[in-house]
Chains A and B, each alone.
Chain A
Amino acid sequence: MQLKRPASPLHLGLMAASCALLSETARAQAAAENAAEAPLQIDASVLYYKENAGRVQTIEPVVSLVKDFGDQRLLVGTLTLDTLSGATPNGAIPARTQQTFASPSSTSLTPKPGYKTTLYAIAPGDLPQDPHFKESRIAGDLDWSQPIGLDNTLSYGGHASTEHDFDSVAAHAGLSHDFNEKNTALSAGVNEEYDRIHAHGGNPVAGSDYALYEKEPSQTKNIAGGLIGVTQVMGRNWLTELNYTFDHSQGYLTDPYRIISLVDATGAVTSYRYENRPDTRTRQSLYWVNKVALGPTVLDLAYRRSKDSWHIGSDTVDAKLRIDLGSGMYLEPHARWYHQSAADFYNLYLIETAAAPSYMSADPRLAAFAATTFGLKFGIATGRNGELSLRLEQYEQRPSDQSSSLTGLQGLDLNPNLKATIVQLSWHLEY
C-alpha cells in the first residue's frame, strides 16, 4: 500500500476533467429530460403597492406562461391586470389658503347645470392631490424566440394594453449572434410603440389656463427605439452584459392631468396652468449588468446611466445578493440607489411676472431627486422545479427641491418625500 502524496498538476487536471465530464453529462441528461417532460412553465404573481399619505395604491396580478417547443423555441405569454386607487398629486403646490380643484372627469370647473362636476377641496398647507383617482388596466404580451442556424437567436413579440384613458400597442424584434465558443454574444433589436391618450374629460389644451377648462379630443404619440448589446462570459463564475438603448418619442407627451401653480411675488397662488411638454423626446441609456457566483451565493450588480433631450440625467445602481440557505430555500436582500436631475422645463411653480415659458411642468417625476429601495425576498422550492417566493421592499424618493424662499411659501413642503411599500407573492410551476 503506497502512501498518498498530494496530487500533481497533471492529476489535478485529470481530476478536474473527469469531474467536469460527469457533471456536464448529468446536466445534459437532466436538461433533456426536463425539456421533454416539462415543456410548460407558469409564473403567477400578485403585487401590492402602497404609497404613504393616502396616495396611490395598486394590486397587480400577473400571469406568465412559457411553452417550450423543443430545440430552444419558446413562446412566452403574459397577462397583467392593474387596479389603481388612492390620491395622486396634481402638480399644484400647497398654499396658505384653501384650494379647490375639479377631478379630470368633470366637464366644468364650477358647478353648472347640465355639467358633471366633481370638486375636491385641499386644506391650507396640504399637498393638492386628487382623491378620486381610480384606474384599471389590462395588458397582454406575446413573445417568440427561436434559434436560426447554430449560432443565432431570433426573437420578436407584441404588446397591447388598455385602460380608461390610454391605449397602447407595441412590437419588437431582435437578433443575437453567439461566437467565441458561445462566450460572446452580440444583440441588436428594434421596437415601435403607438399610444393613444384620451384623458377623462378630454385632453386639456397644453399650457392653457386651468380656469378656462379647455379640452381637446384624444391625441397620440409614438416611440421608436433600438438596442445594441454585448454579453460576455468573463470567467467560470462571472457573466456580464452591456446594452445601449436609444428611443425617440414623438406626439402628445404631456400629462393631461397635471397643472402647475402660478404665484405672485409674495408666493400667493394666483392661477394654474395645464402643463406643456415638448412634443419630442430622445432618450439614451447605457446599462451594465453582472452576475457573479461566489460559491452558492450569486451577486447581481447593475449600473445604468441615462440621458435625454429634456436634459434629465440619471444614474442607477442595483444590487441583489441571492443567498442559498440549503433545503431549496434562499434569501435575497436587494438595494437600489437612483438619482436623477430635473427636466429643463421643470419647476415647482411659476412666478406670474416672469415671461411665460414655452414648456412647463411641475410633475414630481421630472424633478431632481434621489431614491432608494431596500428589500428582501425569500424563496422556497416546491414540488418539482417549482418555487414560492415573497418579496418585501421599501421605496423612498427624496426630491432636492422642496421649499421656496418666497414669504408666502415659507415653511411649506412643496414636494414631499414619497414612500412606498411593495409586497409581491410569486409562484412558479412546471408541467
Chain B
Amino acid sequence: MSAGRAAAGGASPPPHAPEFEVVPREGGIVAVCFVAMASPCELLLEADADAVREVGRLAAQEAWRIEAKFSRYRPESIVSVINHSQGHAVVVDGETAALLDYAAQCYALSQGRFDITSGVLRRSWVFDGSDRLPEPAAVTALLPLIGFEKIRWQSPRITLPAGMEIDFGGIGKEYAVDRVLALVAAHFAGAALVNFGGDLAANRAPGTGPWQVGVERPDTEREARLLLELSRGGLATSGDTHRFLLRDGVRYGHILDPKSGWPVRDTPRSVTVAAASCVEAGILATFAMLQGSGAEAFLEEQGVRFWCLR
C-alpha cells in the first residue's frame, strides 16, 4: 500500500495523454493513475476495480481542468491572460478570485516572503544542477518587477503593471489535491487518498488501517525514505532534491527570496508537513523553507507534525 514519491519538478511539463488507467493494488485498494501538472498522479480508493471508472474520470478531469485554467504554460489559462494583459485590468471568476485572496493573505502572513509575483526570477535562475549562477546585475534588474504590493487586486479585477507576472505554482498542486479529494468524496462513499507527485490528502483511513505513505527522496549523498501513517488530512513536501545549483561547495536551493532575488540560504533538503488539508500543509512547508536555517524551529513553533531532512 505504498503511495507516492516526493515531487520531482522538471523545467517544462511533458504533454499528458488525456487518459487514465485503473491498477488494482493490494489490500482492497484500487489506484486510478494519470499524469497532470507535470507529475504522476494517483487516486487510491477502497473499492473494487470495476466500480471506480466514473469517479476516476471525474478526478482526472478536475485535475486537468485546474491545470488548464491555472498553468502559466497554457495560453488559454487565466494566468496567461493576466500575465499578457499589458497593464490592463482583467476580470476573474470566483475560483481565481479565491486563489488571489489566498495569495494576498499568505503574502501578508509571510511579511512579503511568499510572493506569487516572484516568478520572473526564472528568467535569470535555471536550477539544472550545474554551477552556472546568474549575473548579480541581471537579478537586480528583475527586482522592480517583483512585489505583490505593486499589483492592484480588487475583486473581481486584477491589474498587473506591464512586465510583471503571477504564478500559482507554489499553491496550485496542493489546491488541486484538496479540490479533487472533495469532488471524489461527493461521489464515492469509501476511503480515498489523492496523491499528486507527493502532495497528497486523504479523507479517512481504509478499513485495514491508516494509509502507509512512503516519501522517497533518492539522493546522490544519502538514501532517505520516510514511512508515514496518514488517516485523514493533507501532506505536502517542499524540497530541492532535483532543483539546485552547486558552486564552490555552496548549494543554492530553488526557493528564492523575492526581496533580494537570491536563493534562501541553508534551506533543508526537504520538508514534509502534515496538516488538515494539502493546501495548509503545502503553505507551511513553503514558509518553513523560506526560513532557511530556521525551518525546524519555525515548524516546532507552529505545532504541526513535520519531518525535515538536511
Q: Which residues of A contact B (CB under 8 A)?
A: 1-2, 4-8, 10-11, 13-15, 17-22, 24-29, 31-32, 150, 181-182
- Give chain A residues whose Cβ lies under 8 Å from the Cβ of B283: 14, 17-18
Q: Within the assembled complex, what's the spacing in Å between the Cα atoms of A149 and B284?
A: 39
Q: Within the assembled complex, what's the spacing in Å between the Cα atoms of A7 and B299?
A: 10
B93 at the interface (CB under 8 A from A): yes
Do residues B98 and A25 form an inter-chain contact, with CB atoms below 8 A? yes
B182 at the interface (CB under 8 A from A): yes
Known: A10-B109, A21-B279, A22-B279. Contact between A2 and B305, CB under 8 A? Answer: yes
Which of B102, B300, B304 has a CB less than 8 Å from the CB of A21?
B102
Q: Give A26's nearest chain B residue, CB to CB.
A: B182
Q: Which of B75-83, B121-129, B153-161 contacts A (4 or more CB under 8 A)?
A: B153-161
Q: Give A14's nearest chain B residue, CB to CB.
A: B283
Q: Give B105's nearest chain A residue, CB to CB.
A: A17
Q: In the complex, how many angstroms separate the beta carbon of A153 from the nearest chain B beta carbon?
A: 15
Q: Within the assembled complex, what's the spacing in Å between the Cα atoms of A14 and B234?
A: 14
Do residues A7 and B302 form an inter-chain contact, with CB atoms below 8 A? yes
Render B260-286 as a binary contact track against A, CB cut-off 8 A, 1 for contact. 000000000000000111011001100
- Give chain A residues whose Cβ lies under 8 Å from the Cβ of B97: 24, 28
* 6 closest A-B pairs by CB: A28-B94, A5-B303, A24-B98, A18-B280, A11-B302, A21-B102
- Give chain B residues whose Cβ lies under 8 Å from the Cβ of A5: 300-303
B133 at the interface (CB under 8 A from A): no
Q: Within the assembled complex, what's the spacing in Å between the Cα atoms of A5 and B277?
A: 18
Known: A22-B277, A22-B279, A181-B155. Contact between A10 and B98, CB under 8 A? Answer: no
Do residues B304 and A11 form an inter-chain contact, with CB atoms below 8 A? yes
Render B142-157 as a binary contact track against A, CB cut-off 8 A, 1 for contact. 0000000000001111
Which of B98, B109, B154, B155 has a CB less than 8 Å from the CB of A13?
B109
Q: Within the assembled complex, what's the spacing in Å between the Cα atoms of A13 and B105?
A: 8
B196 at the interface (CB under 8 A from A): no
- Give chain B residues whose Cβ lies under 8 Å from the Cβ of A24: 94, 97-98, 101
Q: Within the assembled complex, what's the spacing in Å between the Cα atoms of A27 and B178?
A: 14
B106 at the interface (CB under 8 A from A): yes
Do residues B306 and A2 form an inter-chain contact, with CB atoms below 8 A? yes
Do residues B303 and A11 form an inter-chain contact, with CB atoms below 8 A? yes
- Give chain A residues whose Cβ lies under 8 Å from the Cβ of B179: 22, 25
Q: Give B234's nearest chain A residue, CB to CB.
A: A18
- Interface of B, helix, strand, loop or mixed by DSSP: helix
- Give chain A residues whose Cβ lies under 8 Å from the Cβ of B101: 20-21, 24
Q: In the complex, how many angstroms separate the beta carbon of B69 from the nearest chain A beta carbon?
A: 11
Known: A13-B109, A15-B276. Contact between A1 and B305, CB under 8 A? Answer: yes
Do residues A28 and B302 form an inter-chain contact, with CB atoms below 8 A? no
Q: Give B276's nearest chain A residue, CB to CB.
A: A15
Do residues A4 and B95 form an inter-chain contact, with CB atoms below 8 A? no
Known: A14-B287, A15-B276, A22-B279. Contact between A8 and B301, CB under 8 A? Answer: yes
- Give chain A residues whose Cβ lies under 8 Å from the Cβ of B99: 21, 25
Do residues A21 and B175 form an inter-chain contact, with CB atoms below 8 A? yes
Which of B95, B154, B277, B300 has a CB less than 8 Å from the CB of A29?
B95
B139 at the interface (CB under 8 A from A): no
- Give chain B residues whose Cβ lies under 8 Å from the Cβ of A181: 154-155
Do residues A21 and B154 form an inter-chain contact, with CB atoms below 8 A? no
- Give chain A residues whose Cβ lies under 8 Å from the Cβ of B175: 21, 25
- Give chain B residues whose Cβ lies under 8 Å from the Cβ of A6: 303
- Give chain A residues whose Cβ lies under 8 Å from the Cβ of B157: 150
Q: In the complex, how many angstroms separate the beta carbon of B61 from the nearest chain A beta carbon?
A: 13
- Give chain B residues whose Cβ lies under 8 Å from the Cβ of A21: 98-99, 101-102, 175, 279
17 contacts between A and B (CB under 8 A): A4-B303, A5-B301, A7-B303, A11-B303, A13-B105, A13-B109, A14-B109, A14-B284, A18-B279, A18-B280, A19-B277, A21-B101, A21-B102, A22-B178, A22-B179, A32-B94, A150-B91
Q: Within the assembled complex, what's the spacing in Å between the Cα atoms of A13 and B275?
A: 14
Do residues B303 and A28 form an inter-chain contact, with CB atoms below 8 A? no
Q: Within the assembled complex, what's the spacing in Å between the Cα atoms of A5 and B305?
A: 9
- Give chain B residues whose Cβ lies under 8 Å from the Cβ of A26: 182
Do residues A150 and B305 form an inter-chain contact, with CB atoms below 8 A? no
Q: Give B99's nearest chain A residue, CB to CB.
A: A21
Q: Within the assembled complex, what's the spacing in Å between the Cα atoms of A7 and B182?
A: 25
Q: Give A16's nearest chain B residue, CB to CB.
A: B105
Q: Within the assembled complex, what's the spacing in Å between the Cα atoms of A29 and B94?
A: 8
Q: In the complex, how many angstroms separate the beta carbon of A150 from the nearest chain B beta carbon?
A: 7
| Docked complex: B98-146 residues within 8 A CB-CB of A | 98-99, 101-102, 105-106, 109
Q: In the complex, how many angstroms separate the beta carbon of A34 from the nearest chain B beta carbon?
A: 12
Do residues B94 and A18 form an inter-chain contact, with CB atoms below 8 A? no
From A19, A20, A25, A181, residue with most partner B Cβ within 10 Å: A25
Q: Give B283's nearest chain A residue, CB to CB.
A: A14
From A1, A17, A21, A27, residue with most partner B Cβ within 10 Å: A21
Q: Within the assembled complex, what's the spacing in Å between the Cα atoms of A21 and B171?
A: 11
Q: Within the assembled complex, what's the spacing in Å between the Cα atoms of A430 and B190?
A: 30
Q: Give B108's nearest chain A residue, CB to CB.
A: A13
Do residues B94 and A27 form an inter-chain contact, with CB atoms below 8 A? yes
Q: Give A30's nearest chain B residue, CB to CB.
A: B94
Q: Within the assembled complex, what's the spacing in Å between the Cα atoms of A27 and B97?
A: 12
Do residues B98 and A28 form an inter-chain contact, with CB atoms below 8 A? yes
Do residues B156 and A17 form an inter-chain contact, with CB atoms below 8 A? no
- Give chain A residues whose Cβ lies under 8 Å from the Cβ of B280: 14-15, 18-19
Q: Give A3's nearest chain B residue, CB to CB.
A: B303
Q: In the complex, how many angstroms separate the beta carbon of A197 from the nearest chain B beta carbon?
A: 50
Do residues B303 and A25 form an inter-chain contact, with CB atoms below 8 A? no
Known: A2-B305, A15-B280, A21-B175. Contact between A28 and B102, CB under 8 A? Answer: no
Q: In the complex, how many angstroms separate the beta carbon of B163 from the nearest chain A beta carbon?
A: 25
| Docked complex: B172-194 residues within 8 A CB-CB of A | 175, 178-179, 182
